[in-house]
Every structure is written in C-alpha cells, then in structure tokens.
Amino acid sequence: MRYLGVDYGERRVGIAVSDEEGKIAFPQRTVFVRSMREAVAAVRSVVKEQRVATVVVGMPEGLGGRDTMQTKRVRAFIRVLQRGLSVPIETENELLTTRLAVAAGGKKELRDASAAAIMLQSYLDKRRGD
C-alpha cells in the first residue's frame, strides 16, 4: 500500500511517496503553485500516477493546540482535495519538519518535499507502532 505525504503551502507543495509496502517515505518533488486549485490538481495527479492508497497531509499545529492561519488554510485545502478523491485523507502533525529538512541539508528546492517525507515517515512509523 503506497502513501502520499503532502506539505501544503500557498506557493509550494512538498510531495513525498512511500515504498509499496508503506514502510519508507521518499521526497519526490516540490510543486510550485499559484492557487489552491493548482495544488489540488497536482496532488490528485500524483495519487493517480503512483496508485496511492492514502494521502497524509501535514497539519500545522499551533501552541496549545490552537488553530493558526496556516492550520485553517490546510483544513480548507483538505476539504477541496476530498472532493472527487477516492482515497482516504489523514493528517499528521508537521511541527518542525521544515526545520529538520533544512538542518539535514540538501538542495533548497527539495526542502518542502523533504519536509513532506519527514512528516510521512512519522505517520508510517506510528502506523507500525515504531
């Protein structure tokens, strides 16, 4: 079962995909978008081409569990993404994933994809009980 990790942003969307067994997350690409519609189209395209069984969207959590503006944007993105998508959508806390991606180094244009992979790996590890 393949999983798709999504680090949603208004300008950049990080995409990560798991292996077929759903054990290891790999950064795939960063998609530059001008609108939520473009972001949704990009994610739906990857779901189809990679035969993804579950989409995992990074959820930014504010201090004390309060919603931030970005939390509200991500929730709106998920609502739009759900329309016409035949696979379940889960969320995973994305706290510090971008900072971890930056600290790991690598190409700047892959940071969002790396953040998506870190978030997706956290989700996969929790599913397996690691």
Q: What is the pTM for the complete model shown?
A: 0.91
Burial of residue 124, with CB atoms counted within 10 A of its CB: 0-12 exposed, 13-18 middle, 19 or more buried: buried
User: Would you say residue 60 has pLDDT above 80?
Assistant: yes
Q: Which domain holds residue 99?
A: 3-128
User: What's the CA gap between 115 and 16, in Å, rounded?
Assistant: 8
pLDDT in tens, 14-48: 999 999 999 999 999 999 999 999 999 999 999 99
CATH number (domain holding residue 107)? 3.30.420.140
Check residue 79 and give left, alpha or beta (phi > 0: left; psi -120 to 50: alpha): alpha
pLDDT in tens, 79-90: 999 998 999 999
Give SS3 for 3: strand
Q: How many independent structural domains does the chain possess? A: 1
For residue 63, the model assigns a pLDDT of 73
